[in-house]
């Protein structure tokens, strides 16, 4: 029985404040036990109706869509109890920035992952939190940490790539940045959500070993960082919708989650009472299958009111833990798209852009160079999907605008005939073709009765459009150095045109300042240091099976291996390995060592800049468990190092043994392997050249 008697949320909040506000960096911080005790006291004063409607969103769809004509223009409310002063959740979507109104558009998550820089990601989380607060939100559901199982996935751009360790560390960093200011972080979508067109009906099936080793680690990392919420997925797992699966919510408990859960929007709940029994706390964004149906189920005796109490407790206790921190923040609207945030967006692109090929044509170094810009996107604003992650910045710099600032003699060619390019490129120093995908090719699947208006969805082809490849072939014939810059949410198979390019830059979806960063990279003011967070295969068939059929009730088996772990297993050659990325300089690795220190393994390697340019290198550390049936190696650490020409440093990565845990089928537990091999290098293939045992 509670020793406290509070009649209002603010009274409970004062007790929390008097107990001392602690950093929100773990599930055990900021007095969760006290928060739950106070929450129970408030719940005891709630009516059945108040409990039922706390478990739903309260989005005003007419105002939100018909009046504003855009999704999530204002915060979307959920939960809350006005009579007891319990504030609602005020939701903003993401992840490339705040979706509400007009805000800073950062590069998409896949490109930020290419930076291999969690400090940068945490800074982006802090910037997003400030803009959330300035625009009235206390809750950010833009921590997308679903794994890229196959590059065809339409929403690959929203996630951090194919590796669970990289994904987990970035999701945790974004969570820390958000929650530093009291904005509740919501990782999504729990779990195995990586098929877009079939997301409402497909069942992703996997055994317990696959779930524990592959699809849960990154969520656990976010929960360790204190994430106060989680969003369930649309899809089924092993035949049951995620929002109504007890097995799914049991996994949340196994991972130590202490917070509240919400459904994915509109179609995330199919049976209101069943979702309550399973463990789902809030149906978002509005009441469709809950509300009165929960009240009726309780009155019929088919739903125990204690389950409503449990769901309400998760919500209120989390709000009590965050609200003191949140209310202490004061950010005016001028923080939105401020110079510091747009500069941060530009930095993210500078660190994330990946140089895939360079025959010495880059960097140009001379601002007076004449550049001819060609291609469908040479003067277009390309920042990614137009679905729920769409951000509306006050401006977006196009490649032509960005290059014109740096290279005054930039020429834009818009013709579609070879003669148009030939005349324009007669005295050019270099041609840059800007091609690739946009929101029409990949993203959140938005259906429409008119097929011409369908946007987003899963990619049917992993190659460039035929007209893009044809343009590259045609431009090569003009005899000028050719740079290809391409946009895409994940892997694009390049071997049908890459031989014609002297340099290739992967630009992902670069954000509002991305084109300015690209121009500085081409000039050489910025030395590219991004590394692919995914593997580029030589053939589409080398990836796991991916369903495009719209057949209802389809099941897809998620096998144990995907990404570089699959290519290690099959020993198939790849076009570009995981972690691949060139620089304008070169780096040499030597003297790799690994030493055991208690619960850690300290890995070090001497890295020297052997080229003529200052640059940054990312050292990747993989660990092989040497266990039968387990991956040959998995990423378990990475570190950036900045080096001047001729300079060398010892780069160190500390691996937590806890991060090495793998599922043991015999004991049905996660165990740490005793005998491991360390692999160190610049990418997954290079690391094979540098294996060491732990001393």
- 3-state secondary structure at position 32: helix
Specify the 3-state DSSP secondary structure of 352: helix
Cβ atoms within 10 Å, residue 26? 15
Residues 593, 505 contacting (CB under 8 angstroms)? no
CA distances from 667 to 62, 131, 629 (A): 53, 47, 16
Kindly state the tokens that stand for 537.
Answer: 């295969």
Mean pLDDT of 383-404: 97
DSSP per-residue string spanning 670-683: EE--SS-EEEEESS
Residue 541 and residue 589 in one domain: no
d(CA 544, CA 489): 18
Considering the domain boundaries, does residue 461 fall inside one? yes
Report yes or no on 545 lying in a domain.
Answer: yes
Q: In what order do the strands lie in the sheet with 240-241?
A: 240-241, 236-237, 203-205, 555-557
Examine residue 569 and state whether it is found in any structural domain, yes or no.
no
Residues 246, 108 within the same domain: yes
> Is residue 208 one of the residues assigned to a domain?
yes
In a domain, 567, yes or no: no
Closest listed residue to residue 533, CA positions, set 116, 18, 106: 116
pLDDT, averaged across the chain: 95
Over residues 228-256, the pLDDT tens digits come to: 999 999 999 999 999 999 999 999 999 99
Cβ(258)–Cβ(184) below 8 Å: no
d(CA 524, CA 367): 10
% of the chain at pLDDT higher than 90: 91
DSSP assignment letter at 10: H
Q: Is the domain of 390 the same as that of 474?
A: yes
| CA dist., res. 340 & res. 347, Å (int) | 10
Spatial neighbors of 207 by CB under 8 A, at least 6 apart, are none
Domain count, the chain: 3
Span 276-280, average pLDDT: 98
Check pLDDT > 70 for residue 24: no
DSSP secondary structure letter of residue 87: P
Res 657: pLDDT: 97
Phi, psi at residue 589, to the nearest 5°?
-105, 140
> Could you tell me if 553 and 589 lie in one domain?
no
**What CA–CA distances, in Å, run from 182 to 15, 29, 128, 262?**
17, 13, 12, 18
Report pLDDT digits (tens) over 130-170.
Answer: 999 999 999 999 999 999 999 999 999 999 999 999 999 99
Q: Of 540, 557, 574, which residue constitutes the final position of a domain?
A: 557
* Residue 149: HSE in the Cβ half-sphere, 13 Å Cα cutoff: 22
In a domain, 611, yes or no: yes
Name the token pair of 404.
């014109």
What was the pLDDT predicted at 313? 98
pLDDT (0 to 100) of residue 2: 62
Does residue 191 fall inside a structural domain? Answer: yes
Which is higher by pLDDT, 581 or 29? 581
Mean pLDDT across 114-130:
98
Sign of the dihedral through C-alpha 435, 436, 441, 442: negative
Residue 4 is assigned to a structural domain of this protein: no
Other CB atoms within 10 A of residue 642 CB: 13
Output the DSSP codes for 144-201: E----SSTT-TTGGGS--S-HHHHHHHHHHHHHHHHTTTPEEEEE-BTT---STTTTT
Q: How do strand 662-664 and strand 669-671 relate by DSSP bridges?
A: antiparallel
Q: Residue 240 forms beta bridges with which residues? A: 237
- pLDDT of amino acid 524: 98
Q: Read off the pLDDT of residues 478-514 as tens digits, 9 standing for 90 and up.
A: 999 999 999 999 999 999 999 999 999 999 999 999 9
Asked if 308 and 298 touch (Cβ cutoff 8 Å), the reply is yes
Q: Is the pLDDT of residue 417 over 80?
A: no
Q: Evaluate whether 595 touches 694 at the Cβ level (below 8 Å).
A: yes
Q: Determine the Cα–Cα distance for residues 444 and 71; give it in Å rounded to an integer.
A: 13
Q: 472 phi and psi, to 5 degrees? A: -60, -45
Nearest to 619 by CA among 636, 597, 601, 596: 636
63: DSSP letter: I
Q: What is the CATH number of the domain that holds 419?
A: 3.40.50.1700
Q: Which residues of 183-216 are buried (b: 16+ CB within 10 A; e: fewer)?
A: bbbbbbbbbbbbbbbbbbbbbbbbeebbbbbbbb
Rounded to whole angstroms, the Cα distance separating 586 from 525 reads 17
Task: Provide the residue range defining the domain that includes 297.
Answer: 56-301
What is the per-residue pLDDT for 414?
79
Give yes or no: residues 539 and 602 share one domain: no
Q: What is the DSSP letter of 504?
A: E
Q: Domain with 206 in it: what CATH number?
A: 3.20.20.300
**38-49 confidence digits (pLDDT tens):** 999 999 999 999
CATH number at residue 615: 2.60.40.10
Both 144 and 275 in a single domain?
A: yes
Q: Are residues 189 and 232 in the same domain?
A: yes
Q: Do residue 458 and residue 498 come from a single domain?
A: yes
pLDDT per position as a tens digit, 547-603: 987 666 699 999 999 999 999 999 999 999 999 999 999 999 999 999 999 999 999
Q: Label residue 25 by pLDDT band (50, 70, 90).
A: low
- Rounded Cα distance, 687 and 1, in Å: 58
Q: Provide the token pair at 515.
A: 């084109």
Say how far apart CA 239 and CA 331 lie, in whole Å.
46
Q: What is the pLDDT of residue 30?
A: 77
Final residue in a domain of this structure, among 509, 541, 557: 557
Are 97 and 154 members of one domain?
A: yes
Tell me the C-alpha distance between 570 and 390, whole Å: 37
Say if residue 295 is in the same domain as residue 410.
Answer: no
Does the pLDDT value for residue 64 go beyond 80?
no
Residue with tokens 């060491």: 692
More confident position, 419 or 141: 141
Give me the count of residues in the chain.
695
At 325 the three-state DSSP class reads helix
- Tell me the DSSP string of 523-570: HTSS------SS-EESSGGGSPP------TT-EEE--S--HHHHHHHH
Is the pLDDT at 474 greater than 80, yes or no?
yes
Reading the block at residue 105, the tokens are 């558009």
Q: Which percentage of the chain shows pLDDT scores above 70? A: 95
615 and 504 co-located in one domain: no
Q: In whole angstroms, what is the distance from residue 637 CA to residue 652 CA?
A: 10
The helix/strand/coil state of 624 is strand
Q: What is the pLDDT of residues 511-551, one digit of tens each?
A: 999 999 999 999 999 999 999 999 999 999 999 999 987 66
At 61, the pLDDT band (50, 70, 90 cuts) reads confident
Say yes or no: 255 and 346 in one domain.
Answer: no
pLDDT class for 415, splitting at 50, 70, 90?
low
- CA atoms of 336 and 347, how far apart (whole Å): 17
Q: Where are the alpha helices (DSSP H) in 228-365?
A: 246-254, 272-278, 292-300, 305-327, 339-352
pLDDT at 423: 77
């Amino acid at each position: 029985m509670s020793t406290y008697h509070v009649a209002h949320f603010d009274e409970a909040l004062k007790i929390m404040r008097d107990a001392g506000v602690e950093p929100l960096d773990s599930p055990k911080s900021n007095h969760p036990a006290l928060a739950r005790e106070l929450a129970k006291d408030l719940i005891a004063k709630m009516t059945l109706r108040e409990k039922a409607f706390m478990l739903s969103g309260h989005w005003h769809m007419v105002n939100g869509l018909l009046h504003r004509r855009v999704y999530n223009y204002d915060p979307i409310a959920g939960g809350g109890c006005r009579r007891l002063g319990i504030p609602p959740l005020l939701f903003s979507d993401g992840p490339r920035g705040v979706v509400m109104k007009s805000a800073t558009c950062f590069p998409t998550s896949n490109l930020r992952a290419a930076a291999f820089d969690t400090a940068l990601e945490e800074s982006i989380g802090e910037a997003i939190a400030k803009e959330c607060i300035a625009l009235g939100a206390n809750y950010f559901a833009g921590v997308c940490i679903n794994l890229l199982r196959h590059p065809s996935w339409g929403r690959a751009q929203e996630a951090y790539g194919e590796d669970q360790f990289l994904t987990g560390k970035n999701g945790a960093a974004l969570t820390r940045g958000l929650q530093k200011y009291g904005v509740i972080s919501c990782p999504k979508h729990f779990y195995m959500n990586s098929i877009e067109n079939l997301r409402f009906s497909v069942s992703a099936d996997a055994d317990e070993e696959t779930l524990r080793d592959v699809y849960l680690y990154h969520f656990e990392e976010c929960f360790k960082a204190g994430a106060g919420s989680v969003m369930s997925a649309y899809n089924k797992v092993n035949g049951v919708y995620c929002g109504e699966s007890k097995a799914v919510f049991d996994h949340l408990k196994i991972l130590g989650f202490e917070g509240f859960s919400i459904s994915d929007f509109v179609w995330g709940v199919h049976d209101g009472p069943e979702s309550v029994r399973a463990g789902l706390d809030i149906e978002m964004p509005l009441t469709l299958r809950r509300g009165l149906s929960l009240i009726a189920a309780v009155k019929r005796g088919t739903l125990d009111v204690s389950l409503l109490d449990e769901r309400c407790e998760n919500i209120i206790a989390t709000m009590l833990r965050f609200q003191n921190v949140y209310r202490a923040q004061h950010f005016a609207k001028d923080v939105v798209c401020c110079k510091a945030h747009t500069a941060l967006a530009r930095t993210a692109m500078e660190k994330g852009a990946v140089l895939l090929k360079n025959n010495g044509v880059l960097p140009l170094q001379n601002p007076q160079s004449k550049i001819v810009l060609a291609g469908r996107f040479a003067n277009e604003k390309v920042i990614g999907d137009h679905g729920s992650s769409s951000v509306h910045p006050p401006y977006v710099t196009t490649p032509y605008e960005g290059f014109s600032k740096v290279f005054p003699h930039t020429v834009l060619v818009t013709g579609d005939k070879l003669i148009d390019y030939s005349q324009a490129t007669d005295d050019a120093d270099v041609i840059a073709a800007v091609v690739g995908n946009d929101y029409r090719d990949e993203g959140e699947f938005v259906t429409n009765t008119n097929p011409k208006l369908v946007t987003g969805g899963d990619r049917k082809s992993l190659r460039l459009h035929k007209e893009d490849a044809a343009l590259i072939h045609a431009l090569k014939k003009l005899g000028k150095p050719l740079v290809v810059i391409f946009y895409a949410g994940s892997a694009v198979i390049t071997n049908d045109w890459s031989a014609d390019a002297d340099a290739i830059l992967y630009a992902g979806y670069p954000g509002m300042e991305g084109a300015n960063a690209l121009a500085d990279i081409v000039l050489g003011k910025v030395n590219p240091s991004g590394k692919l967070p995914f593997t580029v295969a030589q053939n589409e068939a080398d990836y796991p099976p991916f369903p495009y059929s719209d057949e209802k009730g389809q099941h897809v088996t998620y096998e144990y291996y995907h990404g570089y772990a699959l290519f290690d297993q099959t020993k198939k050659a790849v076009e570009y390995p995981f972690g691949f990325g060139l620089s304008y300089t070169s780096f040499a690795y030597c003297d790799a060592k690994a030493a055991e220190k208690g619960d850690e393994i300290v890995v070090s390697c001497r890295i020297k800049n052997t080229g003529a340019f200052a640059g940054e290198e990312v050292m990747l550390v993989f660990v092989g468990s040497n266990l039968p049936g387990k991956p040959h190696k998995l990423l378990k650490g990475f570190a950036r190092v900045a080096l001047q020409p001729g300079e060398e440093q010892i780069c160190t990565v500390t691996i937590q043994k806890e991060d090495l845990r793998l599922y043991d089928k015999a004991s049905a537990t996660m165990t740490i392997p005793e005998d491991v091999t360390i692999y160190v290098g610049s990418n997954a293939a290079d690391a094979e050249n540098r294996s060491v045992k732990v001393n």
